[in-house]
Amino acid sequence: MNRAHSGLLILALLIPFASLTAASATLAPAASTEQLAARARPSLAIITNHGRNGAGQGIGTGFVISADGLIATSLHVVGEARPVGVRLADGRTVEVTTIHAFDRHADLAILRVDATNLTALPLGDSDPLANGADVIALGNPLGLENSIVAGVLSGRRTLDGIEMLQIAVPIEPGNSGGPLLDRDGRVIGIVNAKSLLTRNLGFATSVNLLKILVEKPNPVPMATWVRAGALDPAEWEPHLGALWREKPGRLLVDGVGSGFGGRAFLLRTTPALVPPFELTVTVRLDDESGAAGLVFLGDDGDRHYGFYPTGGQLRLTAFEGPDVFSWRILGTVPSPHYRRGDWNKLEVRVETNGFKCLVNGQAVFTSTDAALRGSRVGIAKFRETSAQFRAFAAGRGLPTPPELPPGLVMALGGRDVPEARLSEADLGTLRTNLTAARGFIADRARRLEQEAVRLREVGARLHREAVGLELAAELSRPEAETDLARAALLVARHDQPDLDPQPYLRQLDALARDVRGRSAADAPPAARLDTLRNFLFAESGFHGSRHDYYNRANSRLNEVLDDREGLPITLAVLFMEVARRSGLADVHGLSLPGHFLVKHAPSGAQERLVDVFNGGRLLTHSEADELGSEYAGVPVRSEFLPPATKREIIVRMLTNLRAFAERDEGAAASLHYSDLLVTVAGDPRAEAGQRIDRARLRVRCGDPAGARADLRWVLDAAPPGVDLERLAEMVRRLSEE
């Protein structure tokens, strides 16, 4: 789980569900633990996911929530881009036809299976449940079927923005996804995780979050689910298991490989590489006790060299067989150039008589070992670490990053800060006055840390300013030439310096190719619009963020593409850009107060409005008017609203981000978005409005001088529609204060 939650929509959506009424009406009086278990067992299911080689990868629990084939569980039990198996309580193995609904942040999933007349468990309400209330957890711990344990609700904890039920119940692998029942046999939670502190403590996701998914599903056919994030077999060949996934510009790996030491690796399927050649990748480990990096000079099996970080150091190994007895560690060394917990660039330069290994441009190993001379290259991981890889490249003459001119390097103080080296005599002197020595060292460390913070702030400011200028240049193009998708990705890059827009632009192209392949060349525009709606929302699972609405990830197009979840405006950008790339013209944004729609207005045909936040449903203008009027408090006539310009769309996205940042973290966190809004305003009147708003934030952040500068700019520009006398009075008061 990786996002913060808003409870506003949750409260609005906690309503009775018609599909569950019948189950709820048949509730029996409070019963013993044994009786409740007997009633619930027919509703339990064993869920397995599988590796790409078909071997079992994991096991968990699910439970029936609808007689027509809906089974609830945890998303991590299902896994991503994996085949899923379901075995019902009566022993039948049934096919999963659709991921009916899923929520990554809440770690929930609902599967639709090819079965009917199932026994559903009734869903309760976890909100009124008091601490100390009796609860019962059912599941398949460690693969043992139909286990039941009783305990109590011991508290509620907010974990990563989600309120979780803390339960005093022993939780083991295999319990995940199982139902947590109250004493009336109602589901009040979905078992999610066990505590790392004690075996008799676990956590469950509230059933009320599951109800939201029941009410508004985001179905994805199983065939599409398995393909999503799957490796391209034309590029990668997996070996020894683990969970490898591909997102635009990145390769991700989780799980433990089946090789010795949890080893797993990918080999690139490109043509054989003959020395000399270069190999590079940038990698980040979530756990430095693990290992992940490059493999090279390999055969078609498991023989190759490996260069990778492990335990915060760099290691070079010759893997000459399947286990440790056939491995030769050629070296393990620390490097001051390796950045623990951060992205690190690994590089191997292979020559005819040896090879050199580098980290972040600095040499670590030089070897003439000649035991392995295969032509395969790739990446590997070890143990339980999760890792991300990006910018993998192999070949001759790979581009090198630009370097600062030597004169500028010296002006900045040199490339390397000399390390103070203390002799034994110096250390002996310090030992005679440890109090003073500790104070001196602590003060020196504090000043270095402050300098590091300052430099990071300077780097972040330079990045944000560069993105702002790039975004302003994109929006300054004529409307027809402005690349809306690229502009939206630059908005995301403002927050994420490592983001490369190009892989996501290619993903939009790929989505458009899929849409074109589903429509005849001579299909009318209305039919092509319906094809696009069905593809994005029914087949691919893109959906509005219902109970995570205010999370800034929903405003970043790259994360919307990754998670298939977003705000109305980012989903509209996705819809419009896939439409444009697929050849569907006359698709525009329609900006309503509090909502954003897409309008398809082909010449000579009836306009159609698409509510991208709610599954791509079609709206009439009357329905759109009702939506906008309810939010604005005044009548809105959508048919007279002009299409939103690309600049207006980007400004609205940034305004959302600023509001969400201020709401979650305060004025200081939102100032960066105000800076960007000023940069991309486009005309003096719009810039004046952004500067006035930035002045407000600057005052709240204790920067009256910055606020005065903004307001004086507005006074000098004197755009129409601004009360200059009132503004001058505000400047006078700020000067007095």
CA–CA gap between residue 202 and residue 181 (Å, rounded): 14
The phi and psi torsions of 205 (rounded to 5 degrees) equal -80, 140
According to DSSP, residue 686 is labeled H
CB under 8 Å to 657, separation ≥6 — which residues?
Answer: 491, 495, 552, 555, 673
Degrees to nearest 5, angle at CA 524 with 519 and 525: 90
Strand spans (E) along 462-544: 543-544
Reduced to 3 states (helix: H, G, I; strand: E, B; else coil), residue 357 is: strand
Q: What is the DSSP string of 432-478?
A: TTHHHHHHHHHHHHHHHHHHHHHHHHHHHHHHHHHHHHHHHHHHTS-
Contact between residue 610 and residue 595 where contact means Cβ atoms under 8 Å apart: no
CA–CA gap between residue 462 and residue 322 (Å, rounded): 48
Strand spans (E) along 89-226: 93-94, 96-103, 108-113, 134-139, 147-159, 162-168, 179-181, 187-194, 202-206, 220-221
Contact between residue 258 and residue 264 where contact means Cβ atoms under 8 Å apart: yes
Active-site residue set: 76, 107, 176
For residue 175, give the amino acid letter. Answer: N
CA–CA gap between residue 313 and residue 494 (Å, rounded): 32
CA–CA gap between residue 577 and residue 485 (Å, rounded): 6
Strands 108-113 and 70-73, bridge-based pairing: antiparallel
According to DSSP, residue 52 is labeled T
Reduced to 3 states (helix: H, G, I; strand: E, B; else coil), residue 480 is: helix
Contact between residue 98 and residue 113 where contact means Cβ atoms under 8 Å apart: no
3-state DSSP percent of the chain in helix, strand and coil, to 5: 35, 30, 35
CB under 8 Å to 238, separation ≥6 — which residues?
Answer: 52, 53, 231, 244, 264, 265, 266
Strands 241-247 and 250-257, bridge-based pairing: antiparallel
CA–CA gap between residue 198 and residue 217 (Å, rounded): 35
Three-state helix/strand/coil letters over 253-303: EEEEECCHHHCEEEEECCCCCCCCEEEEEEEEECCCCCEEEEEEEECCCCC
